[in-house]
Chains A and B, each alone.
Chain A
Amino acid sequence: MSVEAPAVGRGAPVSTSKRKVADRDDLLAKLFLLPTAVYIIGLVAFPFFLAIVFSFTNVTTGNPALDFVGLRQWRTILSSSVFWTSFWNTIIFTGISMVLIVLIAHVLATVLVKDFKGKWFVRFCVLLPWTTPVSLAAVSWLWLLNSIFSPIDWILRWFGFIEANMYYLGRPVLAMGSIIAVHVWRIVPVATVIIMAGMMAIPSDIQDAAEVDGASFWRKLFEINIPLTLPITAVAVLFGAILTFADMTVVFILTRGGPTQSTQVLSSWAFFKGIEGGDLAQGAAIALFLFPLLLAAAIAILRAVRRREVM
């Protein structure tokens, strides 16, 4: 009697059924990328190219016809004084905000990577501004900075530091200061989280080695911790700068660019001009003005990060 030998040893029989969709990596990759691709093309690439086209026409909300006018819109905005105020305000707003954000985030991250009692509460408080809905935050800040009812003024008056109310949003320098303060308050949590991740990625052996090698607190900070967190700090700066450059919510909510355009930034000015004023073409030109600069800065930072990449 012959016994039929099993085809493949004693293991389970090999299934010859076709591969399922879930087994086909090439197909899955395309499938999973599709929503992202649709989103980026539909909501980023298309509006971006539309804006470029708009900036060379005289389109308005009232007249959607695309008549090509060459560089006329660009010349108009470059000769407008509000544009230049907005331009310099954007630079000042971003510059000062970034310095403050990096400093504060570094300090907070240094504190938060340590172990101490009540750490979860401090961490919660640090992240709170990021999780607060913009509308709620806006109401709170408008109240804090209100010209008549400001509790900050009330406290300062009570201590005798000031005699009359400060009118935070009514004076150019104070208004810009208020905008920077609120923006820093909003961005610091993200920057802290990014820098914290960078700090936690430094192997504890390196900290110990520095300790054994006799480095003081400051030497450790300047020779070990800051250089090693520099790449991740650069990422935080890049994120922060882009969020700041492109941000108009703080300006819009607090001052609407006032008093007398003194806190106008490019993105808010583009909005007021293009959407509220209806001049889509000029709005597009204003919004696009800093794009090459931003792109160059982003590439430079990312390159620097890659060059400094360690280990």
Chain B
Amino acid sequence: MAHVVEVRGLKKHFEGGDVKAVDGVDIETRPGEYLVLLGPSGCGKTTLLRIIAGLEEPTEGQILIGGNVVNGLPPRARGIAMVFQSYALYPHKSVLDNIAFPLKAAGLETDERRQKVEWAAGLLGIDRLLDRKPRNLSGGERQRVALARAIVRDPTVFLLDEPLSNLDAKLRTSARDELKQFQERLGTTTIYVTHDQVEAMGLGDRIAVIFDGKVRQVGPPRDVYSDPADTFVATFIGSPPMNLIDRGDHLLGFRPENFLPAAAVNGRDNVLQVDARVYRIEYLSGDRHVYATVPGLGDDDAHIIARIPATVDVAVAEDKDQRFAIHERDLRFFDGKTGERTDPRPVRL
């Protein structure tokens, strides 16, 4: 089966080639998949989405939707629907007219329009808001209207540009959950852009980590988290990020939750034990974040953060040397120059 969306060798340069917003991207979606484009602001993820939507023309490369090259086609001919970060509701139109607008543009009869709008509004629980104007809606309601406007046309792909970033933190969590359930019910392929790794990890079937206009890694959240392809991915994903210790020609990396007091680590085989000088402890949602230096692993300045889950009941004190341990299978190695992932090597203390 053809990929719903596929881009090949995509490049987008602004200002006569000085700014390379998208710098050679190859990526494809699988049918029904939730693909998240994750990266810091300015990495080119929104530009990539806008190129897929047809709002920008690429400098180079091809975009395929449903197996057909759509370069040069206007957005309306691409079978896409998009939700914007600002929601971009038409402020002078009622909710009903906002949702009906794409149908009207497609030339549907009034009855059919009404029917589809009611279906979409019902699905999103906004039936009672149909007569309101966008200015009389809350942030969460606006987001639903924007979603409803996107689904009424039954597109082949949803393009979502940071649809949760305008909601307050509390609402964001429930909206994220709804978004996921919603997509699973519709089964429509979705490309979702965000800078928030929590959203990416929570929503994505696969995550594409983008930096500097390039895709650094594509994979399921679990793989991207535990087997980052380079030091950028390693430090961008995870909070606190992966610890990286400079060891001359290579970097040693491990996740904070894998570095635990020796007493809490089972077994002695393939376990690396090291003294850590703890200088600060933070209590965050039950977990303890332990800030320490591990001169044994690198030089004196080798700062690390360990995250001790609430379930581990081992005393840790500040300003003391303590024995910590980590399984060798949890160690990751990166090239000292390029930052790329390398093969494991023995760790000599």
* Nearest chain A CB to B83 CB, angstrom units: 9
* Nearest chain A CB to B45 CB, angstrom units: 16
- Residue B92 lies at the interface, judged by CB distance under 8 Å to chain A: yes
Query: Given contacts A212-B53, A212-B80, A213-B102, are A228 and B75 in contact (CB under 8 A)?
Result: no
Per-residue CB contact flags for chain A residues 291-311 toward chain B (1 = under 8 Å, else 0) read 000000000000000001011
- Residue B256 lies at the interface, judged by CB distance under 8 Å to chain A: no
- Residue B106 lies at the interface, judged by CB distance under 8 Å to chain A: yes
A226-262 interface with B by 8 A CB criterion: 227-228
* Nearest chain B CB to A69 CB, angstrom units: 53
Q: Which residues of A contact B55 (CB under 8 A)?
A: 208, 211-212
Q: How far is the CA of A245 from the CA of B135 in the complex (A)?
A: 36
Q: Which residues of B contact A208 (CB under 8 A)?
A: 50, 53, 55, 82, 84, 88
Q: How far is the CA of A78 from the CA of B16 in the complex (A)?
A: 68
Give the number of residues in B that approach A within 8 Å (Cβ atoms). 28
Contact B135 A212 (CB under 8 A): no
Contact B82 A214 (CB under 8 A): no
Q: How far is the CA of A311 from the CA of B87 in the complex (A)?
A: 12
Q: How far is the CA of A203 from the CA of B134 in the complex (A)?
A: 15
* Nearest chain A CB to B49 CB, angstrom units: 11
**Chain B residue nearest in CB terms to A219:** B105
- Residue B86 lies at the interface, judged by CB distance under 8 Å to chain A: yes
Q: How far is the CA of A308 from the CA of B55 in the complex (A)?
A: 29
- Residue A223 lies at the interface, judged by CB distance under 8 Å to chain B: yes
Contact A205 B106 (CB under 8 A): no
* Nearest chain A CB to B57 CB, angstrom units: 13
Per-residue CB contact flags for chain B residues 61-97 toward chain A (1 = under 8 Å, else 0) read 0000000000000111000111011101111110000
Q: How far is the CA of A212 from the CA of B81 in the complex (A)?
A: 7
Q: Which residues of A contact B90 (CB under 8 A)?
A: 206, 209-210, 223-224
Per-residue CB contact flags for chain B residues 114-153 toward chain A (1 = under 8 Å, else 0) read 0000000000000000000011000000000000010001
**Chain A residue nearest in CB terms to B159:** A212
Contact A211 B86 (CB under 8 A): no
19 further A-B contacts with Cβ under 8 Å, apart from A206-B91, A209-B88, A311-B91, are A203-B88, A205-B85, A208-B55, A209-B82, A211-B54, A211-B74, A212-B54, A212-B76, A213-B76, A213-B105, A214-B76, A214-B102, A214-B153, A215-B101, A223-B101, A224-B90, A227-B92, A308-B92, A311-B134
Residues of A within 8 A of B (CB): 203, 205-206, 208-216, 219, 223-224, 227-228, 308, 310-311
